[in-house]
Structure 1
Amino acid sequence: MADHFIQGSFAFTCSIAEAALIEEAWQLAADLMWDFDPAPISDELLTVFPPSLADKPLSGFTAIFDDANFPDFGADIQVENSIEDPKTCSVSIYSDTDFQPWPIAGLIQRCCQPTLAIAPIGFDWSLTCSKPRIDSFGGGWCAIFPDRIEIESTRQALSKALNGGLS
């Protein structure tokens, strides 16, 4: 038996308002995951995550997760006010066990549109294993733009390279 881990750690700068949205969404996911009654949802968060199902107001938010019944980012978050620019924050997202690239990217794309209009945000992650198991190591990268998210695993990149750059 072997343990598998998806690990990631990155930080980016965004506005205080964007960081507040990220923190609110992070807490909402935790509340939903543990079946707690969530705090009242701000109009700002409902605006960036409009419902995808008319009878479920949080369906737009839970849609960013692989399983809407299990809304987990698989990571921790830390937000710190910037010393250089009092209008910005540094957001750090990190995990050494179950980092979830797609939901994290979806959250950043929805909550940080003004920042993404200036420059994309990117991160990478690793897939590791406690034992030397074939195909149990790798990782990937993610680039978040205002209009799209590009994600690729190292396995996909290797396959392209081995096939002469063909996808």
Structure 2
Amino acid sequence: MSNSYTKAAFTILMSREDAALLRSAEAAVDILETNGEDADLAAAYDTLDERFRTIFPPKGESRFETFLELFDDPHLPYLDARIEIEDNPDEALVKVNFSGDQFGIDQVAELLFRGCKSALPCGFAWSYDCDRLRVGEFGGGCVIITDAGIQSYSTQSLLEHAFRRIEGGPHEGVDGFVLTTTSAAHGLSFWSNTYGFGALATATVFSEAEAARFDKPIADDEPEWLALPAPMIP
């Protein structure tokens, strides 16, 4: 018999309004845990503060369906995180501490993304382990949350990607492709879906499949795909 854990403990700074939204989310979870009838849940939804109802507008008979989108299983709407708020009146932002040993990585990330814009960009690390030394039961990852969305990384995916890079070699585009062209005025330029041809720093990185589907823009010099090198290891 063994026990597995997904652990996290971190602090994020945010506005008092966003911290209050977290408390409303916890209250919503408590309401849903009653397993009440839709009419009762709808009445309870209306008791939550206006900001919660703006970020998670009413949907469905229970009015909670937008909020339930945070969870992989809407029948198990648990944040799986302890949330502690430290509010120093002399500070502009409050400290919010998240922790847990069966931590709800995805739902916490979604809640921060949707409801705590003052905290962005932010992120957190997590780990998984076991109380017995079992193969495959140890690792971790991190989540980066910005206005553009949520990016998740795990140690397993990083290992797999590193070995694909080794097996594929430097010209296979394991780390993506950029589209290049050369002009007399600007020299070597790189395509951006936002800005057109310009600096490498703003270039759009394409997967092999995306590059195959992409309709190349017209340029004086025929654009060509260039495989990116492996990223620098910090």
TM over 0.5: yes
Tell me, in whole angstroms, the C-alpha distance in 2 between the residues paired with 1:12 and 1:161.
31
**Residues 30 and 71 of structure 1 are in contact (CA less than 8 Å); yes or no, is this contact kept in structure 2?**
no
**Residues 9 and 98 of structure 2 are in contact (CA less than 8 Å); yes or no, is this contact kept in structure 1?**
yes
Residue in structure 2 matched with residue 46 of structure 1 by the alignment: 53
| 1:33, distance to aligned residue in structure 2 (A) | 2.7
1:88-103 equivalence runs, <5 A: 88-96=93-101, 98-103=102-107
| 1:65, distance to aligned residue in structure 2 (A) | 0.7
| 1:164, distance to aligned residue in structure 2 (A) | 1.2
Residue in structure 1 matched with residue 160 of structure 2 by the alignment: 159
Deviation track 1:21-65 (CA, whole Å, cap 9, x = no partner) reads 0111022113323547657122211211234x4434111111111
RMSD between aligned residues: 2.0
Tell me, in whole angstroms, the C-alpha distance in 2 between the residues paired with 1:54 and 1:164.
47
3-state secondary structure, aligned to 1:114 = helix
Tell me, in whole angstroms, the C-alpha distance in 1 between the residues paired with 2:60 and 2:80.
28
Unaligned runs of 5+ in 1: none
Unaligned runs of 5+ in 2: 167-173, 176-234
**Residues 33 and 69 of structure 1 are in contact (CA less than 8 Å); yes or no, is this contact kept in structure 2?**
no
Residue in structure 1 matched with residue 61 of structure 2 by the alignment: 55
Query: Residue 140 in 1 paired to residue 128 in 2?
Result: no
- Give the structure, 1 or 2, with the largest relative contact order (CA under 8 Å, sep 6 or more): 1
1:1-167 equivalence runs, <5 A: 1-35=1-35, 38=44, 40-51=47-58, 53-82=59-88, 84-85=90-91, 87-96=92-101, 98-116=102-120, 120-164=121-165, 166=174
3-state secondary structure, aligned to 2:165 = coil
Q: Runs ≥4 in structure 1, deviation > 4 angstroms?
A: 36-39
Tell me, in whole angstroms, the C-alpha distance in 1 between the residues paired with 2:157 and 2:72.
20
Change in 2 beyond 3 A, CA 1:34/1:130: farther
**Residues 109 and 144 of structure 1 are in contact (CA less than 8 Å); yes or no, is this contact kept in structure 2?**
yes
3-state secondary structure, aligned to 1:92 = strand
Q: Name which one, 1 or 2, has greater alpha-carbon Rg.
A: 2
Amino acid at match of 2:74: A
The alignment covers a number of residue pairs equal to: 161
Tell me, in whole angstroms, the C-alpha distance in 1 between the residues paired with 2:88 and 2:147.
23
Tell me, in whole angstroms, the C-alpha distance in 1 between the residues paired with 2:107 and 2:163.
29
3-state secondary structure, aligned to 2:96 = strand
Q: TM-score, normalised by structure 2?
A: 0.63
